[in-house]
Structure 1
């Protein structure tokens, strides 16, 4: 996500669940939530201590990165367990929601059964993988790497237990038996067809990575498990590659230390909302622009730009801004559908603004400089903000402001003074990276310490009771994202091994029109992918394949990253399939149907801005 979007399954506990099942579920929650909250806090302490030791005391801690890496894999896996227990792994529910109540209930249980199938298939290879790491010693801490690798079978085992409890708590034996039988029948069918599949060659790519993935995703199976099932099935039934490879690729995908910035920036976003920093920034913008026609809509666009530059999570951004502005905008006569349409459009517009999680993901999987991506993303986001402002100006040209009072200079100055500590945060983060104080991974900890200090000392608003739930929420969202990256990395490896990447490169290179056609095809493809797979899995899957082709075509990698991100943002927030649109509707407490027509004008403006970014490289590369 890109904004990471949660979609909860209804295959949860029934009212008549046995007390012992409830106790087992609570035990699983205790075994995963408390440790993962401690892990997030520990990562903040370790990385910030490393910054202080290196930059202030000039005595670098040689083992800090290694310890952070070990704990990170545990954080990712236990976070995935928490997300699975809460039903918060990303899944596409557009088609499931159209089904009858009975069919929808079946598909929700089927999704859990399919996830259980993958977990059972991969748990033994994960144990074998961890055992093979026993003899490997880490260079700095001089401990067995099994301490790190054990996170994989432990997390998978806890998810198996969670899946069994969730199925047992459904309360409808026939429904659960039917879902399990359906999954078993599909697995048996593919096993029986193994001799046929072995002779199909590259047609198996369509069978497993189009038919299986699409069928699973449309049926509501969480995206991470759909990727994992297709990769495992492809390797097991059509190749002689050891199944250990699936686990190895998952480990590789989830172990990039740069991805540690994902949970840390998510936590920073939650801190900004809790300490009142987001409210202060919005308030000063409202005083500046609230008295002009469409002023609060401009404030919404500007606030999303500012907040997105800090939190890195689109869901957190929208949740921080909407409750502050929507009540007053409704009082001024704005229609709820218009509000949620603009909120969703700003979510798409701010996808390139650092420190976007998608920017970090692109850098980790393609090798593009994250510092360059952070610099290159500011102007495209500003351009799209201007495009949205033009639509706002047209729509609100006749707004009645007779009842709106213009703030005095004193009121404006006071709100600006109050907001200065919050407004300074993006500059603190950017300066720390530019001056070499911290890496892109570490800099989020500076933001966290700054936000805590401002919340305690300046705004005097810091609810200690919310800290642990925020840490758990951070881990759950991050675990869902990182588990997708892990399984998508395995899927991308399968595609590369099959020769698909070479074939794709030849096809894209053979298109007439050179780089122009390549960019046009990429825009269309990633709009579609963004609406179906969401940003992060699409990037992990296709980024390593397409970025080398872009370089061969003469397209600057930073410009291509901006084009890809904005195209995915359009898909993510465009109805009827874009899940981000429904998240915006939920945050705004508005029926999605009311926003579908108003958002079309905003999407047209975003598409025009995207065309300019694709046509003019300087917009993305001018400040590099």
Structure 2
């Protein structure tokens, strides 16, 4: 986000209801009664989507009969699950946001900035109410092909989500923010809107400068103020269209619908659910224990185990946060006993998670494929090889750093123990290869294979790892809806913003500039790496991909760069930025999971980041690495 990758950075913020600051451990225990129906509906929708997709796979490949209405039902349920999930994420304060600037402010000023952020969120949602309702009215006349029902039943989810999120924002502001900061924030937002409205005739004549004013300036101010990234993108698109063009805001809602509704994206919540199952059943720990018994006795062995575990576990969960949270608790105590330093362990954990982000199933690859029109099966095939190149770079560095490690007190695990742990880990080790094989051989799409993987993990988890209770399954379904809603709302808002940028004509100018740079594709690749490292650091990875992929891919195609290779360079460079201190969100999540101080890890992480960046440069320079598996 990852996602999907990094929603945990907001764990220190209060939820929408005024709970105590330390009440973040058991979310369900503090959920008010009026949120329970939303959570129950979200859980039911996610479960229904998974069951229907699995039913479709069985019907097509076992019975040989496709269910013609299935895609329409899944599409309807999916957009409702996303918007309700996004509403739950607003309540839980789990939307992606940039907190670095706000955290540096004095406490008295932070309160005013927070009030401004809330009023900005409310202003965006208020601006979208009318267009969202109009969109529902226009879609009423359009009937779906299979079910023959108005498409309004599906798109009304957007109007519901806008109204529900607005209600929660207003409720939170009224109950937790003092009146003075709230009034100040509202006046500031209203004054800016009024000024832009008065100057709109002049602004409409400025052309490309409006991109800088609205889609860069407004978005940057909102980001710095801690406004969730989805609302920052929406604010940029809404303000640009409202004050600098004559395009109706209905377009924003339409682009959000288009950005969210692709059936390919249905696999996102299912893979998020798969990551939850992995954590809850202990399948990830079984893999870690087996690798430790196999390699723990050699020099740099525990570093090898950590990197190998991240590589394999990433092929199950699809989420960097889930990967790190699974591997670190299982390995760090033993590594500390063997003399490994905490900052070095966290540095290796962070860069290892970045390395493994192209291992399928990768939520970033799925979303990138949907946005840029790249084959997801091809991305999955290539992702393994690319991750191996980055893995090799980190393995070489880990071995060099362990050249003086004393292994005299370490013994090889008995063959009997290794065999026993292999039997326990075997079913879990099969899963990433099952996912890759089904997609690579064309047996199932990325969406379909996600449901097969969840069914397999649930079955194996029940038979071998203790199973899951109904309460735990329900909690995982709600978590899946909230996380998916937060991620996919960013995608919808980024689609609207990217469309606005495209319509402004800036893309054509940028394309002309980049295609005529001296050095051609080599220079363009270098620019790409720099841009995505910086944006991956500032915006978190997924929003950077969503915003720039539609703009950069056509340029890469003009220069003759293979779309799979370019995808891999983008994702890998983005992940370097994600772990880049002092701003990278993933860096702070790794520090939190590893229990180390960021300023100490900041010193230790640079050699690993340099090794990772070297691997990215090799991937950019050698197209064969990305295309050999196709």
Deviations 1:349-398 (A, max 9, x none): 11211111111111101111111111111111111111111111122222
- Give matches, 1:30-109, under 5 Å: 30-109=36-115
Query: Which moved further from structure 2: 187-196 or 330-339?
Result: 187-196
2:128 equivalent among 122, 126, 130 = 122
Deviations 1:69-126 (A, max 9, x none): 1111101111110111111110111111111122223323322221111001101110
Deviation at 1:553, TM superposition (A): 0.7
**2:427 paired with 1:421:** yes
For 2:20 and 2:623, how far apart are their aligned partners in 1?
60
Conservation of the 8 A alpha-carbon contact between 2:314 and 2:359: yes
Structure 2 residue runs without a partner (length 5+)? 22-27
Conservation of the 8 A alpha-carbon contact between 2:3 and 2:487: no
**Corresponding residue for 1:3?**
3
Conservation of the 8 A alpha-carbon contact between 1:312 and 1:356: yes
Q: Give secondary structure in 1 for the equivalent of 2:3.
A: coil
**2:518 paired with 1:518:** no
**Corresponding residue for 1:412?**
418
For 2:33 and 2:208, how far apart are their aligned partners in 1?
46
Conservation of the 8 A alpha-carbon contact between 1:11 and 1:108: no
Conservation of the 8 A alpha-carbon contact between 2:16 and 2:169: no
Deviation at 1:464, TM superposition (A): 3.1
For 1:219 and 1:112, how far apart are their aligned partners in 2?
10
Q: Give secondary structure in 1 for the equivalent of 2:518.
A: coil
Structure 1 pair 334–260 and aligned structure 2 pair: CA distance change class (3 A): same
Conservation of the 8 A alpha-carbon contact between 2:321 and 2:589: yes
Conservation of the 8 A alpha-carbon contact between 1:13 and 1:171: no
Deviation at 1:28, TM superposition (A): 4.4
RMSD, aligned CA: 1.8
Deviation at 1:13, TM superposition (A): 4.4
**Corresponding residue for 1:465?**
471
**Corresponding residue for 2:409?**
403
**2:531 paired with 1:488:** no
Conservation of the 8 A alpha-carbon contact between 1:92 and 1:220: yes
For 1:27 and 1:163, how far apart are their aligned partners in 2?
18
1:309 equivalent among 296, 311, 315 = 315
Query: Which moved further from structure 2: 543-552 or 187-196?
Result: 187-196
For 1:176 and 1:289, how far apart are their aligned partners in 2?
57
**Corresponding residue for 2:244?**
238
1:575 equivalent among 571, 581, 603 = 581
**2:276 paired with 1:270:** yes
Conservation of the 8 A alpha-carbon contact between 1:11 and 1:170: no
Conservation of the 8 A alpha-carbon contact between 1:366 and 1:547: yes
**Corresponding residue for 1:251?**
257
Structure 1 residue runs without a partner (length 5+)? none
Query: Which moved further from structure 2: 26-35 or 297-306?
Result: 26-35
For 1:27 and 1:73, how far apart are their aligned partners in 2?
24
Q: Give secondary structure in 2 for the equivalent of 1:157.
A: helix
Deviation at 1:16, TM superposition (A): 9.7
Deviation at 1:45, TM superposition (A): 0.5
- Give matches, 1:183-222, under 5 Å: 183-222=189-228
2:157 equivalent among 151, 154, 171 = 151
Query: Which moved further from structure 2: 285-294 or 171-180?
Result: 171-180
Deviations 1:134-174 (A, max 9, x none): 11111011111111011011111110110011112215222
1:225 equivalent among 228, 231, 246 = 231
Conservation of the 8 A alpha-carbon contact between 1:293 and 1:399: yes
**2:365 paired with 1:359:** yes
**2:595 paired with 1:589:** yes
Conservation of the 8 A alpha-carbon contact between 1:485 and 1:537: yes
**2:478 paired with 1:475:** no
Deviations 1:243-299 (A, max 9, x none): 111100000000111011111001101101111111111111101111112211111
**Corresponding residue for 1:610?**
616
**2:611 paired with 1:600:** no
For 1:70 and 1:3, how far apart are their aligned partners in 2?
23
Conservation of the 8 A alpha-carbon contact between 2:278 and 2:457: yes
Conservation of the 8 A alpha-carbon contact between 1:387 and 1:609: yes
For 1:157 and 1:313, how far apart are their aligned partners in 2?
30
For 1:229 and 1:613, how far apart are their aligned partners in 2?
36
For 2:414 and 2:375, how far apart are their aligned partners in 1?
45
Conservation of the 8 A alpha-carbon contact between 2:360 and 2:436: no
The count of corresponding residues between Structure 1 and Structure 2 is 620
Conservation of the 8 A alpha-carbon contact between 1:11 and 1:167: no
**Corresponding residue for 1:436?**
442
**Corresponding residue for 2:24?**
none
Deviation at 1:401, TM superposition (A): 2.8
TM-score using structure 2 length:
0.96
Q: Give secondary structure in 1 for the equivalent of 2:32.
A: helix
Conservation of the 8 A alpha-carbon contact between 1:274 and 1:463: no
For 1:91 and 1:418, how far apart are their aligned partners in 2?
39
Query: Which moved further from structure 2: 567-576 or 324-333?
Result: 324-333
**Corresponding residue for 1:26?**
32
Structure 1 pair 16–192 and aligned structure 2 pair: CA distance change class (3 A): farther
For 1:211 and 1:136, how far apart are their aligned partners in 2?
38
For 2:139 and 2:151, how far apart are their aligned partners in 1?
5
TM-score using structure 1 length:
0.96
Q: Give secondary structure in 1 for the equivalent of 2:446.
A: coil
Deviation at 1:178, TM superposition (A): 2.3
Structure 1 pair 109–400 and aligned structure 2 pair: CA distance change class (3 A): farther
Query: Which moved further from structure 2: 320-329 or 3-12?
Result: 3-12
Deviation at 1:465, TM superposition (A): 2.4
Conservation of the 8 A alpha-carbon contact between 1:10 and 1:108: no
Q: Give secondary structure in 2 for the equivalent of 1:135.
A: coil
